[in-house]
Amino acid sequence: MESVKEFTKKEQQSKTLEESLNKALEDASFSNLVNKLKLTKQEALKYTSRLEFTVAELKNCQNCKGLYECANSLKGHISSPKRVDKRLYFTYLPCKYQKKLEKKKTEEKKIENATMKDIETTDKKQLKIIKWMDDFYENFDMSKNMKGLYLHGSFGSGKTFLITALLNELRNNKNVSVEIVYFPEVLRDLKDDWDLFGDKINYYKYVDILFLDDIGAEKVTDWGRDEVLGTILQYRMNNNKITFFTSNLTIEELERHLSLSSNSVDKLKARRIIERIKQLTIDMELISENRRS
């Protein structure tokens, strides 16, 4: 039989829970969540603290600008209650920024492992480029002075995927050393690891095939243009090293991008880079639908 003391204790706990719920219900976000889940008072009493935790995480998300400032307990995720029959279950769902990151990682993995057989041939705008790639692969010979590709065009049109697929085939089937790099990241890495600057530059100079992805997306500096890009391309041009580029800029737009100012010295330095690219590549354009959207 329950003692008076135990009964009084339970009564006090019940009163405390009810006070907590009533206080929580003063928050419109909490009240809306209770109504959305169609909770009875008893159910709301049982889950008050967990629901308050969810509301706090939802509020964190309201003004969040990205994963770098996520304040939730599990980065990139939101506590999410779900009602199943008469019980409430709490789980974590990815926020919009986490979903975007996961999608990007999936796309990067797909690109990283791409081969020629993965290329869709339904987009007629790609057919000319695919034909060039087929010819390049079939006639590939390291002893020949073969030109790579400067492939420019609309954002998300599949430029990186196409070239990576070709280079993966060459690496896997023709024993060619290939380096595929995102050019803005190259500049950041070189700045962050100055002790290995010379070794990395030499590697980019000597590798059989170098693919500089998204050139023109970087912030232009004298150092990045002249000491990094200019040095790498000068060696590769002089030694007939196959080089590929992708860019959202035409070759003319890239020249303007590389000109830090309108003075004649800057224009001359930008023109030298462009002339090296022209010596190393065939210029082709791909304007197509945004496959990332």
Longest dimension (CA), the chain: 98
57 shares a domain with 19? yes
Q: Could you tell me if residue 17 is inside a domain? A: yes
The whole-number mean pLDDT for each consecutive block of 10 residues of the chain, a chain of 293 residues, reads 52 72 88 89 87 92 89 92 85 90 79 82 85 94 92 85 94 92 90 88 95 92 92 95 95 92 84 96 83 56
93 shares a domain with 117? no
Q: Could you tell me if residue 33 is inside a domain? A: yes
Q: Which long-range contacts (CB under 8 A, 24 or more apart) does 19-28 make?
A: 20/48, 20/49, 21/45, 21/48, 24/48, 24/51, 24/52, 27/55
Supply the CATH number for residue 279's domain. 3.40.50.300
127 shares a domain with 234? yes
Determine the angle formed by the axes of helices 4-25 and 28-36, rounding to 10 degrees: 100
125 shares a domain with 82? no
Report the residue count for the chain. 293
Domain count within the chain: 2
CB 274 within 8 A of CB 258: yes
126 shares a domain with 31? no
CB 239 within 8 A of CB 211: no
CA 264 to chain centre: 37
Q: Could you tell me if residue 107 is inside a domain? A: no
Residue that finishes a domain, picked among 73, 99, 125: 99
229 shares a domain with 87? no
276 shares a domain with 211? yes
pLDDT of residue 1: 46
117 shares a domain with 262? yes
218 shares a domain with 192? yes
This model's pTM is above 0.85:
no
pLDDT of residue 118: 84
Q: Could you tell me if residue 131 is inside a domain? A: yes
Q: Could you tell me if residue 292 is inside a domain? A: no
Q: Rounded to whole angstroms, how far apart are CA atoms 81 and 47?
A: 10
Q: Could you tell me if residue 21 is inside a domain? A: yes
Q: Could you tell me if residue 253 is inside a domain? A: yes
pLDDT of residue 7: 45
pLDDT of residue 87: 83
Residue that finishes a domain, picked among 45, 73, 99: 99
248 shares a domain with 120? yes
255 shares a domain with 138? yes
Residue that finishes a domain, picked among 48, 77, 99: 99
What phi and psi values does residue 255 have, to the nearest 5 degrees? -60, -40
Q: Rounded to whole angstroms, how far apart are CA atoms 239 and 205?
A: 9
∠ CA 144-227-276, rounded to 5°: 35
Domain residue limits at 80: 4-99
128 shares a domain with 72? no
Radius of gyration of the chain (CA): 29
Q: Could you tell me if residue 266 is inside a domain? A: yes
